Structure 1
Amino acid sequence: MRAYRGVLSIGAVRNIVLLGALVRVPHFAGAVLLAVHVVETLHGSFLQAGTLAMVVTVCVATSGPWRGRMVDRFGLRATIAPAIVLGAVCWSVAPFVGSAAAGARRDLGAVRHSGVQCGAAGDHRPVG
């Protein structure tokens, strides 16, 4: 424990460890929120919700080392500011992604039931 105490007594190290811990809470809460959104709002399955939560978690885990290198290279503020802006944009768009996907599925369903065959170029046989 003395080694940890020595390292954590350095102000910059302590700040980055605390910030790193606090930053992870919204990511994991966001994964849960997305899962609930998929099941309740979009009427998706728990498999789809779990897959989405897994993808978010893997993205957060794989971006950690990259973000650490960016902190070492450019500093904490220069690294966190773009992440906050990008996160705000993504979370602002996220509620509407399900609506767009549902609309695309509805439109594709209408095309499929209209008698138009979606196939190779020049292949215009009616469905039937």
Structure 2
Amino acid sequence: MRINLASIHVDDQEKALRFYTDVLGFVKKNDVPLGEHRWLTVVSPEEPDGVELVLEPSDHPAVDPYKDALVADGIPVTSFAVADVQAEYDRLRSLGVTFTQEPTAMGPVTTAVLDDTCGNLIQIAAM
């Protein structure tokens, strides 16, 4: 058994696609129209056949209260691995990304937390 898909709920699929590709550097894998929404996935350019991140619409009534509670408590919805948190923080800041946590060493891991502009906090981390 292996992880094939992971989902993140976004308030605007097109805005999310731009952020996750143009800013974070992921690559669009699937973009299939489904009524008013799309089956929209991105992957790491380092693993094009790896885990796909589904950019899910936030339409379900449970999603917004869940996302709002996580953001209010400063809890990231997911974490992405990077080689160097400080370098990625600097790169993303230069692109205008807002961080809620600057790079912080926590034992063997360094993390930072960013706002994905689509209603989520995302952690970046390196061991």
Larger CA Rg, structure 1 vs 2: 1
Bigger RCO of structures 1 and 2 (CA < 8 A, at least 6 apart): 2
Which is richer in strand?
2
TM-score w.r.t. the length of structure 2 is 0.27
Which is richer in helix?
1
